[in-house]
Amino acid sequence: MSFTRIDALGASGLAVLLAAAVGVGCSPRPTGQVSSTPAGSIANLMKERGLSEADVSAALQTYMPTGKKDEYYTFASGGHGGNMIVIGVPSMRILKDVRVFTPEPWQGYGYGDQSNQILKQGSRFGKEMTWGDMHHPALSETGGDYDGEFVFVNDKANARIAVVDLHDFVTKQIVTSELIQSDHGATFVTPNTEYVIEASQYPAPLGGGYAPIEDYKDKYRGAVIFWKFDREKGRIDPDRSFAMELPPYMQDLADAGKLGSEGWIFINSFNTEMSYGGTLEGNPPLESGASQNDMDYMHIIDLKSAEKVAAEEGKTKKIAGMKVIPLDIANEEGLLHFVGEPKSPHGICVTPDGKDLVVSGKLDTHATVYSFEKIKGLIDAKKYDGKDAYGVPILPFKDSIRGQVELGLGPLHTQFDNKGNAYTSVFIESTVAKWSLKDLKLLGKQKVHYNVGHIVTAEGDTVSPDGRYLISINKWAIDRFAKVGPLLPQNLQLIGIDGEQMQLLYDMPLPLGEPHYAQMIKADKLDPIDIYKPAGIDVFTGEKSEFAVKAKEERIERKPDGVHVYMTAVRSHFTPDIVRVKKGDTVHLHITNVEQAIDATHGFTIGSYNVHASLEPGKHVDITFVADREGIFPFYCTEFCSALHLEMAGYFLVEPG
Ligand code: K7E
Ligand code: CUA
């Protein structure tokens, strides 16, 4: 693309530019207004700032005038920030930082009994954790389309899954199974969100516990958990979930079949060499040991049949409380097949029509396109190329694929548009490659900055992607932004994909975590609430709290388990505003924001007691703590809510015991 500078444009060029500006602008204006704009001002701006025509075009495609709203939401994982970031597209404005595995005071998450209970659900082996490593958000689906109701996320480090409700953008549940010790093929959902998929990454003895690493091949295993989602309750039901044992390869990304391939699950793997490191003990390092074979194995799982087997008597084992189909039963029942995939693959992506699967190997230059029909035919005909060391049948690679397309160095992950094109991130050469699914031809490349991991297109994982936008989630930012010390923000680059050529539109620095993956959904599919109704809602049950407080019913009660303070918050006071307790008392604060007006949020803190809450309109919060230090502790509203916000305060008096 040629970037024309304004000084080379001339008067007619500028007129064309302005006409184009009206055409692509987000807010159509009467044409008459354009001619009244002094043309010189835009020209001067471009000149002063050194902007090209392409720059102005990009600006006009992303700029949001005040009050205008974005067309899409992007839900990006926060990596080892343990959070999820919600970004508006095309403006790339951050709309929310949803806390999931980590506390965050502004939203009151991890402060107060309700949200602490959620974080506690994520304890493993009795240990509470205050962080997570989030990689792959998955929006809930109906008929293979995002429905805007829930988003699921994983924690790779601690093998956990969380449910975020998009009615209020709050984490409602964390589940974990000690069956596995890490995950990565998570989260992915089946086309009607019957199951949330979590495949382990690093093999270990199932259920936890110790086994010598020399026993890797015998004692270490992978597993995939199918977490049953109860949409009505909006929660995962661990009792109706089950798992399948897998060989000790490192299972990687996963995807669920759709349309013709619905009911099937596909999981990549690497390290089929079963290398486990030991560089000080005379072994090759893990990464070179794991890159010896030319092919690793794609895991193909017949979920519908697995579901039946899991329900049969005697076909499963209980490990760490989880119902598990052992590998020998999976083999006996024909639930698991392998097919070779080019060395150390990363992305595995089912095409929108459900007919093909695109796999890219980090150490291979191709995207390999498998045909589900061919795979299914080979499984039905039991046409195998032998079995692996664990008795899993291997389908012949050549007969499974539709073809390969050469993309460049280090292809990773593929997304789709509405015109039959695929887009693959190419890590080593820092590009996004566009290619045609039909004839497997490379159509073009867009440079990105730098080292792109995953990419996401609008509605890209559904049966009907939108095209329009692609975000390149880059791992390195190096020279893109003003310097902020050695830890750089991530660089999310918005790319327009409606034209024949991709167009880079926007660089967004993201200093809130490392997004590994994201999903982009049409904004009008979401219908979040403005207010918790009626006032007194416990956000984590979604029901009115038994401790909800009404105006005029505020009180302080001394009970055998401590002092119960029933408090309301409303502009611009807390009632009661004086709370007297004795040193050593257990204090139960029950605070309801009784307001029912949009954005009438209050905060609550008692200084030096590490007590904090965010009280959105209608929200109820319980806070339990021991008043273990005597003194005078002012409490106040932390959210600037009104003209008399500073006066929204009171005293917590702790008398000597
Ligand atoms: Cu960082 Cu999908 Cu976990 Cu890759 S992941 S690019
Ligand atoms: Cu309520 Cu400030």
**Distance between CA atoms of residues 503 and 498, nearest Å:** 9
Atom of ligand 1 nearest to the CA of 156: 3
Mean pLDDT for the stretch of residues 296-305? 98
pLDDT at 428 over 60: yes
| Cα(255) to centroid(ligand 1), Å | 13
**Distance between CA atoms of residues 96 and 80, nearest Å:** 17
Residue whose CA is closest, atom 5 of ligand 1? 516
Mean pLDDT for the stretch of residues 88-105? 98
User: What per-residue confidence (pLDDT) applies to 14?
Assistant: 44
Mean pLDDT for the stretch of residues 209-228? 98
**Distance between CA atoms of residues 332 and 62, nearest Å:** 55
Mean pLDDT for the stretch of residues 554-569? 98
Atom of ligand 2 nearest to the CA of 638: 2
Mean pLDDT for the stretch of residues 347-365? 94
Of all ligands present, the nearest one to the C-alpha of 645 is 2
Mean pLDDT for the stretch of residues 181-186? 98
**CATH numbers and ranges of domains, the chain:** 3-62 (no CATH), 72-525 (2.130.10.10), 537-655 (2.60.40.420)
pLDDT at 11 over 80: no
> Per-residue pLDDT tens for 48-76?
999 999 999 999 999 999 999 999 999 99
**Distance between CA atoms of residues 115 and 126, nearest Å:** 18
Does residue 562 line the site of ligand 1, with CB under 6 A? no
Confidence band (pLDDT; 50, 70, 90) for 37?
low
Q: What is the mean pLDDT of the chain?
A: 94
User: What per-residue confidence (pLDDT) applies to 390?
Assistant: 98
Of all ligands present, the nearest one to the C-alpha of 613 is 2
Q: Which of 33-47, 259-273, 317-331, 349-363 has the lowest mean pLDDT?
A: 33-47
Does residue 445 line the site of ligand 1, with CB under 6 A? no
**Distance between CA atoms of residues 396 and 384, nearest Å:** 6
User: What per-residue confidence (pLDDT) applies to 270?
Assistant: 95
Does residue 516 line the site of ligand 1, with CB under 6 A? yes
pLDDT at 27 over 70: no
Helices (H), 280-326: 286-289, 303-311
| Cα(412) to centroid(ligand 1), Å | 9
| Cα(404) to centroid(ligand 1), Å | 22
> Per-residue pLDDT tens for 573-612?
999 999 999 999 999 999 999 999 999 999 999 999 999 9
- 252: Cβ–Cβ under 8 A, 6 or more apart, which residues? 184, 185, 199, 201, 267, 268, 269, 270, 345, 346, 348
How many CA atoms lie less than 13 Å away from 401 in the CB half-sphere?
19
Residue whose CA is closest, atom 1 of ligand 1? 516
User: What per-residue confidence (pLDDT) applies to 19?
Assistant: 45
| Cα(453) to centroid(ligand 1), Å | 6
Element (H, E) at 363: none
| Cα(602) to centroid(ligand 2), Å | 5
Confidence band (pLDDT; 50, 70, 90) for 260?
very high
Atom of ligand 1 nearest to the CA of 517: 2
Atom of ligand 1 nearest to the CA of 253: 2
Does residue 413 line the site of ligand 1, with CB under 6 A? yes
pLDDT at 290 over 50: yes
Mean pLDDT for the stretch of residues 368-390? 98
| Cα(618) to centroid(ligand 2), Å | 14
